C-alpha cells in the first residue's frame, strides 16, 4: 500500500526494529508462561518480564516493584480511578479532574459519579492551562484524588505536574496522572506522584501493553483490583502476562532513555517549520499554550472550511487527526478545544499534527505544500 506521510504519532507509533527483534523469541522459542514457577520455560519468561519491568521503571524514576503491567493506559486509568473509589467505598468521596482529560479518565469519572462519587471538572483557559489556585480551592475534606494528565494528547500542553503533586501532598490526597503522551517524550519522574498510567505503543513499543505505577511505602491507600483470577501482578491485575509485549515495552523504554532528549530537540525544530509555513496563511490559528507544550505536537484550526472534508482531503497525502484517536471519527468538535473556548465550527476544522522518529524535513515541506493546496481548493469553492 502507498501510505501517506505519517504525522499522527500521538495516536500510535511504529515499533522500532530493535523492539521487534527483542520480542520475536518470546513468541516461539521462549514461549513459557511467566507464572509457571516449576520449570525453565516459566523461569525464562519470568526473568524477561522482570528485566523489562526494571527498564520501564528506570524510564520514569521508579522502583521496579512499583510497576503493574496492564493491557494499556485505558486499563491502567480504570484500575486507578475505580480501584481507589472502591477502596473508599464506605466513605463520602470527591474527585478533582479536568475538562480536557482523555476519555479514559472522563468516562471512568462519569462511572464513579454514577456510583455516588462527587466529581469536579476543572475548566482551562484559552491556552488549555489549569488554574492551580482554583484546583486548591476545590479541595474538600472528603476529596480522595486529584487526576490531571501530564501532557494533553490533542494540544501537547504540559501541566505543571510537580506543583500539582505538592498541592496533593499538602492536603494528603492521592495524585493520579495520565502520562501517556509524556513518558518517552520528555523526562518524567514519579516524585510526589501516587499513580501514573502510560502505554508502550506511544513510545515505539507494541500495542496491547501498558503499565500503572503504584507508589509504595506511603500511607495513602492503593487501588483495589478490577480483574480477579490468579492474583498476578501482586494482586493488582490478574491474567496471564503478555510476555512478548512486555519485553518489547522494556526495549522501547531503554531506547527512549537514550534518544528522547535529542529527538525532542530535532522534532521541535521541524514542528516550528511546519507551523511557520501554515500560520502565514489567513485564517489559520494555533491552539494551546506555546510556553509549556510537547516539542512534537501542533494543533491548528483552519477557518472557512468544513472540518470533515478538510480532514479527508489532507489525509490523502498526510496522515493526521482531528483530535484523540479514540474520537477521531466523530463529527463533533473536540471536547478539548471546546473547553478552551474555541467555537464549534473552528474546533471541527482543526488538525493535530504530531511528529515522530521517522519524520524528516522533506515530510514537513511536503505537508506544508499539500495543506496549502488543499485549503486553496476548499476556500475557492
Residue 103 sits in a domain of what CATH number? 3.40.640.10
Q: Which element (helix H / strand E) includes 76? A: helix 73-87
pLDDT higher than 80, residue 89: yes
Residues 289 and 248 in one domain: no
Q: What pLDDT does residue 326 have?
A: 54
**CB 331 within 8 Å of CB 285:** no
Taking the model in full, what pTM does it have? 0.95
Residues 21 and 158 in one domain: yes
Q: What pLDDT does residue 118 have?
A: 98
Residues 109 and 229 in one domain: yes
pLDDT higher than 90, residue 198: yes
Q: Which of 254, 271, 287 is the last residue of a domain?
A: 254
Condensed to tens digits (0 to 9), the pLDDT of residues 329-381 reads 556 789 999 999 999 999 999 999 999 999 999 999 999 999 999 999 998 87
Q: What is the overall mean pLDDT for the chain?
A: 95
**CB 193 within 8 Å of CB 161:** yes
Give the other-Cβ count within 10 Å of 41's Cβ: 14
C-alpha 162/C-alpha 265 separation (Å) is 22
- The values of phi and psi at residue 119, to 5°, are -130, 130
Residues 166 and 82 in one domain: yes
Residues 196 and 277 in one domain: no
Residues with a catalytic annotation lie at 326
Count of positions (residues) in the chain = 381
Q: Which residues, 6 or more positions from 187, have their beta carbon under 8 angstroms from its beta carbon?
A: 260, 261
Q: What pLDDT does residue 330 have?
A: 54
Instruction: Give the number of domains in the chain.
Output: 2
Residues 292 and 233 in one domain: no
Q: In the block, which residue shows the cell 487527526?
A: 321
pLDDT higher than 90, residue 155: yes
pLDDT higher than 60, residue 17: yes
Residues 218 and 267 in one domain: no
Residues 127 and 207 in one domain: yes
pLDDT higher than 80, residue 107: yes
Q: Which of 206, 234, 254 is the last residue of a domain?
A: 254
pLDDT higher than 80, residue 176: yes
C-alpha 226/C-alpha 153 separation (Å) is 26
Q: Which of 238, 254, 270 is the last residue of a domain?
A: 254
What is the domain range of residue 213? 17-254
158, three cell numbers: 504540559
Whether the CA torsion 173, 174, 178, 183 is positive or negative: it is positive
Residue 351 sits in a domain of what CATH number? 3.90.1150.10
Residues 142 and 213 in one domain: yes
Residues 98 and 161 in one domain: yes
Whether the CA torsion 237, 242, 248, 254 is positive or negative: it is positive
Give the ranges where 280-381 is alpha helix by DSSP (H).
307-314, 335-339, 344-348, 361-379
**pLDDT > 90: what percent of the chain?**
94
Q: What pLDDT does residue 2 have?
A: 87
**Mean pLDDT, residues 73-98:** 97
C-alpha 77/C-alpha 284 separation (Å) is 35
Condensed to tens digits (0 to 9), the pLDDT of residues 199-250 reads 999 999 999 999 999 999 899 999 999 999 999 999 899 999 999 999 999 9
Residues 56 and 132 in one domain: yes
Condensed to tens digits (0 to 9), the pLDDT of residues 20-58 reads 999 999 999 999 999 999 999 999 999 999 999 999 999
Residues 169 and 25 in one domain: yes
Q: What pLDDT does residue 29 have?
A: 95
Amino acid at each position: 500500500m502507498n501510505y501517506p506521510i505519517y504525522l499522527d504519532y500521538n495516536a500510535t507509533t511504529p515499533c522500532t526494529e530493535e523492539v521487534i527483534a527483542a520480542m520475536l523469541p518470546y513468541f516461539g522459542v521462549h514461549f513459557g508462561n511467566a507464572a509457571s514457577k516449576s520449570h525453565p520455560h516459566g523461569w525464562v519468561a519470568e526473568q524477561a518480564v522482570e528485566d523489562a519491568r526494571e527498564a520501564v521503571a528506570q524510564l520514569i524514576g521508579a522502583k521496579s516493584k512499583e510497576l503493574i503491567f496492564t493491557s494499556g493506559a485505558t486499563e491502567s486509568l480504570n484500575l486507578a480511578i475505580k480501584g481507589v473509589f472502591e477502596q473508599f467505598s464506605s466513605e463520602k468521596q470527591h474527585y478533582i479532574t479536568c475538562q480536557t482529560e482523555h476519555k479514559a479518565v472522563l468516562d471512568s469519572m462519569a462511572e464513579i459519579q454514577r456510583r455516588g462519587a462527587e466529581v469536579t471538572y476543572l475548566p482551562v483557559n484559552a491556552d488549555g492551562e489549569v488554574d492551580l489556585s482554583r484546583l486548591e480551592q476545590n479541595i474538600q475534606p472528603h476529596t480522595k484524588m486529584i487526576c490531571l494528565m501530564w501532557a494533553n494528547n490533542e494540544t501537547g500542553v504540559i501541566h505543571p505536574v510537580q506543583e500539582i503533586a505538592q498541592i496533593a501532598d499538602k492536603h494528603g490526597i492521592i495524585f493520579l496522572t495520565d502520562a501517556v503522551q509524556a513518558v518517552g517524550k520528555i523526562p518524567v519522574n514519579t516524585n510526589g506522584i501516587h499513580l501514573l498510567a502510560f502505554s508502550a505503543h506511544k513510545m515505539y513499543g507494541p500495542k496491547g501493553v501498558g503499565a500503572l505505577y503504584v507508589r509504595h511505602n506511603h500511607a495513602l491507600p492503593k487501588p483495589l483490583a478490577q480483574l480477579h483470577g490468579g492474583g498476578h501482578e501482586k494482586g493488582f491485575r490478574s491474567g496471564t502476562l503478555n510476555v512478548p509485549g512486555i519485553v518489547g515495552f522494556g526495549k522501547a523504554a531503554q531506547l527512549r532513555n537514550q534518544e528522547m532528549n535529542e529527538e525532542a530537540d530535532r522534532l521541535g525544530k521541524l514542528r516550528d517549520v511546519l507551523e511557520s509555513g501554515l500560520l502565514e496563511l489567513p485564517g489559520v490559528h494555533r491552539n494551546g499554550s506555546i510556553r509549556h507544550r510537547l516539542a512534537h505536537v501542533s494543533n491548528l484550526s483552519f477557518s472557512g472550511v468544513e472540518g470533515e472534508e478538510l480532514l479527508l482531503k489532507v489525509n490523502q497525502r498526510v496522515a493526521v487527526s482531528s483530535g484523540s484517536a479514540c474520537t477521531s471519527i466523530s463529527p463533533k468538535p473536540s471536547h478539548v478545544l471546546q473547553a478552551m473556548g474555541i467555537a464549534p465550527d473552528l474546533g471541527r476544522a482543526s488538525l493535530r499534527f504530531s511528529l515522530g522518529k521517522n519524520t524528516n524535513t522533506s515530510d514537513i515541506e511536503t505537508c506544508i505544500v499539500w495543506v496549502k493546496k488543499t485549503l486553496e481548493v476548499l476556500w475557492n469553492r
